Structure 1
Amino acid sequence: MVSTRAAGPTSGHAAYEVVRRVTDPEMPMLTLDDLGVLRGVEIGDDGRVVVRVTPTYSGCPAVATMRDDLVRSLHEAGFADVHVELVLSPAWSSDWITARGREALAEHGLSVPGPALRHDGPVPLTLAPVRRAVTCPRCGSASTEVSSEFGPTPCTALYRCQTCWEPFEHVKEI
């Protein structure tokens, strides 16, 4: 949680319009809104803007930068008192990525996540490789193989197409 002061407008709609354009620091082709991490924007009677975000996972290294970018953008728009709150429940799901966000990922050569797996109860622990139906974002082939479960960001995995042989990132289903 962060709270800061500047000086300015009081419209909740105006605050939301500013916040919804802030981009993700790790995948800048997405806004936080399109990524699905933006949970709400409210302005209190005292003019304080409260922005609620849910990180893609609890250890996301981009959370501090997201917070700083939100605060800076609102201050630049003239909002005086800004508070960013992390909302951890319900946990973020890749299903929350908007259609526009999915299009932006594909346009930038990233493989778009499929539906997130749902479990009624504890998540089973398996040591086998994760099996996903991943399509190459370049040629559309379903003949792909995982190179590494760990991409340049923690929420991506590295794949290689077995048809066009191009490497690509896949946004993990969470």
Structure 2
Amino acid sequence: MEQKIITISDARLREAAAQGMDEFLQVFIDRYREVIGGELNAGNMGMLNGEQISLLAYALFREEVMDGGFIQLIHNGYGPFIFDNPFAKAMRLMGAHDFSKLVYKGKRLYDKYKEELTKDCSDEEFMALFEAYPQFDDLDDEFVEMEEEVTAALACYVDEHLELFAEVVKE
């Protein structure tokens, strides 16, 4: 599939920026999801460039980890997308250095426990994973503590490199 030119309204972007960094990034994330039909997959990944995919990956990472930690992220099948791709490197290049290190720590645990964490299981068995793998707790806590800083770093990077993330149009 051919890469799309993603356009975002200048007015919408300014409005979101005035509301804060989360809202600013969300404009891009929502637009990417709209363009790809809701969910990134092998069939539509070519519609986005590497920076856009990295920002979308961060949104997915943040949603999953803030909701259920690294265990949920991995169990829900996002381990390969986050840990087997250059996501951590992209985050470092975008200025989120500590977050990049955290993702590398997560990758080591993912590589060690992915078989157990990705098995089909009942809700009860899923909840038991949190007790069985407490080594993920520190990573979860570390991300919660740094999330605002990471989001701010990414928002700053996007703002300074708008042309990599979308074509801003006046309407």
TM over 0.5: no
TM-score, length of structure 2 as denominator length: 0.29
More relative contact order, 1 or 2 (CA 8 Å, 6+ apart)? 2
TM-score, length of structure 1 as denominator length: 0.29
Q: Which has the higher helix share?
A: 2
